[in-house]
Amino acid sequence: MAQDTLTITDNRTNRTYTLPIENGTIRAMDLRQMKTGPEDFGLMTYDPAFMNTAACRSSITFIDGERGILEYRGYPIEVLAEHCTFLEVAYLLLFGELPDEPELKSWTNEITHHSMLQEATKKFMEGFRYDAHPMAMLVSTVAALSAVYPGAKEVHDPANRLLQIKRLIGKMPSIAAMSYRHNVGFPYVYPDNDLSYTENFMNMLWKMVEPKYVANPVLARALDILFILHADHEQNCSTSAMRSVGSSYADPYLATAAAAAALSGSLHGGANEQVLKMLDEIGSKENVPAYLKKVREGHVKLMGFGHRVYKNYDPRAKIIKWAAEQVFEVTGRNPKLDIGLELERIALEDDYFVSRKLYPNVDFYSGIIYQAMGFKPEMFTALFAIPRTVGWLAQWQEMIVDPEQKISRPRQIYTGQRARRFLPMEERQAADVAKMDR
Ligand code: ACO
């Protein structure tokens, strides 16, 4: 018998099956042949929250969560963060290879020339309430681009896909910056094509009356590094939303809006905002042990800690700690860092966290840097969405051209009632709301 196989005996029928094992997986569809009789649907797997199910093949991002390794297209994240610009990494993620000099120049030029938003989009954004959360504005505005670019629905045309990819990467900082300016009540700033991707973003956020915005180079580079770290992370919640929505051939603006919506949740990209709120609540280093006691007792979660895949230190958190030192040389030290470091120090010695392999994730320190740079916590998740758009699009493109992919459609185990007798109105009794809320 071939070694790379799995033999299963179905004790319900005493039949034995041999299934191939490929890449450490069996195909869930191979289980379907295991039936108790002709009427039986066949065996399925049950995996709420996809704890142990691979839904695609991907050659974009590799993570070894046990060892704390992250690679984009085979390059370690540490090397890319040290030597590349964000747009260089975007090119790598999307096309599989690092660009040479002319390729990078032309790519940067094209992204830069897609940063402008149509005036209609600007007007759409102006319609939000003055205190709208930047992520709510970002998600809705990205979806609204579907109306601006109706041709984007031609998802099987490679040239069309590439055009939308460039537009989305180019426009994301403009949308995020306008959401911020709206929130603080300042007029929107148009993109400046002389500036780099991150400098231009800073320009659109913070330019006031000066004729030309000049970004601090240390802060612009730190932001660029943060963008590199956030660019992709294989099949996380928002990326699987992107793939799932994209699998129906919804256009990339709508799929990206869905992904950004998934990112906004506090267990995912929304955690960075929550970390800052938590640090504010803790207030000072002395209060850290009492807060950790509340975590151990299950009253609160330690935001920015824990990860579905990393059971070791998140390699991105290490680089962020390094970048924080560079930023603080310019901005002065954010006192919240001391609370964060103390939380980490005690947590990493505490049995609750050690036994569950809970380490700081990317969101633990990013907010502390962002705040030192002048961002409001409400903006943190939008800062995550800008670079992650590249990862979403690379994964979407990979999914669209993958002949094995079909429309995403999980199965369920039905737990409700069946074939009930219809009750005419006069026979019905008031429903028990408590039961319905289950
Ligand atoms: N604080 C306290 N306990 C935690 C934390 C935390 N941050 N994270 C996990 N745990 C505990 C769980 O309560 C559980 O304990 P139990 O076994 O006694 O029930 C155990 O550790 C395993 O945790 P799960 O929730 O089963 O792990 P899962 O993989 O489902 O969740 C997640 C991962 C959502 C990231 C979780 O660790 C979490 O909620 N962290 C805080 C939010 C956060 O920082 N999110 C950002 C993640 S990074 C990103 O998305 C960019």
Q: What is the CATH number of the domain that holds 365?
A: 1.10.230.10
pLDDT at 115: 97
Ligand 1 geometric centre to CA of 234 (Å): 18
**Cα dist from 204 to 121, 317, 358, 383, whole Å:** 16, 27, 37, 13
pLDDT at 435: 61
Instruction: Report helix, strand or coil for 139.
Output: helix
Residue type, position 10, single letter: D
Do 152 and 209 lie in one domain? The reply is yes
Query: Does the residue 85 lie in any domain?
Result: yes
pLDDT at 264: 97
Between β-strands 69-72 and 75-76, what pairing exists: parallel, antiparallel or unpaired? antiparallel
* d(C-alpha 88, C-alpha 66), whole Å: 28
Query: Do 272 and 381 contact (CB within 8 A), yes or no?
Result: yes
If one counts every other C-beta atom within 10 angstroms of the C-beta of residue 81, the result is: 22
Domain count, the chain: 3
Q: Residue whose CA is closest, atom 42 of ligand 1? A: 267
Q: Which residues make beta-bridge pairs with 368?
A: none
**Cα dist from 325 to 46, 147, 333, whole Å:** 45, 43, 8
Nearest to 216 by CA among 369, 82, 327: 327
Ligand 1 proximal residues by C-beta, below 6 Å: 236, 267-269, 271, 295, 301-308, 356, 358, 361-363
Assigned token pair, 429: 């009794």
Residue type, position 26, single letter: I
Do 263 and 286 lie in one domain? The reply is no
What CATH number has the domain bearing residue 225?
Answer: 1.10.580.10
pLDDT at 437: 57
What DSSP character marks residue 251? -
Pocket probe for ligand 1: among 263, 273, 295, 307, the residue whose CB has the most ligand atoms within 8 Å is 307
Residue of 133, 224, 307, 314 marked catalytic: 307
What DSSP character marks residue 33? G
Query: Do 364 and 275 contact (CB within 8 A), yes or no?
Result: yes
Do 78 and 192 lie in one domain? The reply is yes
Q: Does an H or E element contain 63, and which?
A: strand 61-64
Tokens 């999980």 locate to: 410
268 is catalytic: yes
pLDDT beneath 50: ranges in the chain: none
If one counts every other C-beta atom within 10 angstroms of the C-beta of residue 334, the result is: 22
Helices 380-401 and 217-230, packing angle to 10 deg: 40
Query: Does the residue 408 lie in any domain?
Result: no
Do 279 and 181 lie in one domain? The reply is no
Nearest to 393 by CA among 223, 248, 246: 246
Do 145 and 170 lie in one domain? The reply is yes
Do 301 and 259 lie in one domain? The reply is no
Q: State in Å, rounded, how far the first CA of the chain is from the last one.
A: 49
Kindly report the pTM of this predicted structure.
0.95
Tokens 């994301």 locate to: 172
Ligand 1 geometric centre to CA of 436 (Å): 28
Query: Does the residue 424 lie in any domain?
Result: no
307 is catalytic: yes
* Atom number of ligand 1 nearest to Cα 275: 44
Assigned token pair, 31: 């289980």
Query: Does the residue 426 lie in any domain?
Result: no
Q: Residue whose CA is closest, atom 18 of ligand 1? A: 356
Q: Is the torsion defined by CA of 278, 279, 282, 286 positive or negative?
A: positive
Which residue segment(s) compose the domain that 139 sits in? 66-267+380-400
Do 131 and 248 lie in one domain? The reply is yes
* d(C-alpha 45, C-alpha 19), whole Å: 15
Do 19 and 84 lie in one domain? The reply is no
182 is catalytic: no
Instruction: Report helix, strand or coil for 203.
Output: helix
Instruction: Report helix, strand or coil for 5.
Output: strand
Query: Do 55 and 235 contact (CB within 8 A), yes or no?
Result: yes
Query: Does the residue 234 lie in any domain?
Result: yes
Q: How is the beta sheet containing 75-76 ordered, strand by strand?
A: 61-64, 69-72, 75-76
Do 90 and 216 lie in one domain? The reply is yes
* d(C-alpha 9, C-alpha 30), whole Å: 14
Query: Does the residue 432 lie in any domain?
Result: no
Query: Do 60 and 34 contact (CB within 8 A), yes or no?
Result: no
Do 167 and 261 lie in one domain? The reply is yes
Nearest to 357 by CA among 316, 312, 315: 312
Do 126 and 199 lie in one domain? The reply is yes
Query: Does the residue 423 lie in any domain?
Result: no
pLDDT at 172: 98
Do 18 and 96 lie in one domain? The reply is no
Strand ranges in 236-385 using DSSP code E only, listed in sequence order: none
Instruction: Report helix, strand or coil for 376.
Output: coil
Residue of 268, 338, 350, 402 marked catalytic: 268
What DSSP character marks residue 265? S
- What does the pLDDT look like over 388-416, one tens digit per residue? 999 999 999 999 999 999 999 999 999 99
Query: Does the residue 407 lie in any domain?
Result: no
